[in-house]
Amino acid sequence: MSRTKGKLYVISGPSGTGKGTICAELLKDKHNEFSVSMTTRDPREGEVHGKDYFFVTREEFLDNVEAGNFLEHAQVFDNLYGTPKDMVIKRLDRGYNVLLDIDVQGGLQVRKAMPESILIFILPPSLKELRRRLEGRGTETADKVEKRLGQALSEIKLIGEYDYIIINDDLETAANEARSIIEAESHRVPEAVRGIIREYENELQ
């Protein structure tokens, strides 16, 4: 575990662009942890409650909104999705980086609530390839694929609000680019300086 607080990474981009796949690559590093969202969407085949999502009813979700339990929440396509706040804060305090795979509306809410968060946008190489990936994943019906593709451009239009762009053409290249961003961010001056000064002070005592 690192001696400083971890960093919060928001990973957004159109559905099917490869956010989940890139997060899975980043999670091979034990300093990175995934924030499991709550959703009212039905589980897909193979998805595990507590690992992929916390699958809840609309009522349960709205109770959590009421209780102020979310760092951000939004309606995406036809369902509600939200980031449980407590787990994120705890993990950051313990020194882990936390990865949020969330949509752009959620990303912008996180930026407001925690301005030090780092926002990464994952672009597909083309909309044609995005369609191929969404269809290839085989998790959505044809009309849901169309809905997700229809939404892609309005998400991409908000890319200017993000800090980094990665084009997920070749997966290994894209994952390495994401790792480089995390590595570079870990060398940002303010926190590093405080840590280094503390270290020198401790050494002198």
Q: How far is the CB of 23 from ligand ADP (least distance, A)?
A: 8
Q: How far is the CB of 65 from ligand ADP (least distance, A)?
A: 24
Q: Rank residues 153 and 192 by Cβ distance to ligand 5GP and give the closer one.
A: 153
The residue whose Cβ lies closest to ligand 5GP is: 106
List contacts with ligand 5GP (CB under 6 A): 15, 19, 37, 41, 72, 74, 76, 81-83, 101-103, 105-106
Two tokens, residue 63: 């109770």
Q: Does 137 bind ligand ADP (CB under 6 A)?
A: yes
In whole angstroms, give the CA distance from residue 129 to residue 16. 9
Q: Does 150 bind ligand ADP (CB under 6 A)?
A: no
CB neighbour list of residue 175: distance below 8 Å, 6 or more residues apart: 22, 25, 26
Q: Where are the alpha helices (DSSP H) in the chain?
A: 19-26, 58-66, 85-93, 104-113, 127-137, 142-156, 171-185, 189-204
Measured on CA atoms in the order 160, 21, 150, 65, is the torsion positive or negative? negative
Q: Does 151 bind ligand ADP (CB under 6 A)?
A: no
With CB under 5 to 8 Å by kind, the binding choice for 171 among ligand ADP, ligand 5GP, none is: ligand ADP
For residue 27, report the phi and psi dihedrals to the nearest 5 degrees.
Answer: -75, -5
Q: How far is the CB of 15 from ligand ADP (least distance, A)?
A: 5
In whole angstroms, give the CA distance from residue 82 to residue 185. 25
With CB under 5 to 8 Å by kind, the binding choice for 124 among ligand 5GP, ligand ADP, none is: none
Interacting residues with ligand ADP (CB under 6 A): 13, 15-21, 133, 136-137, 168, 170-171, 174
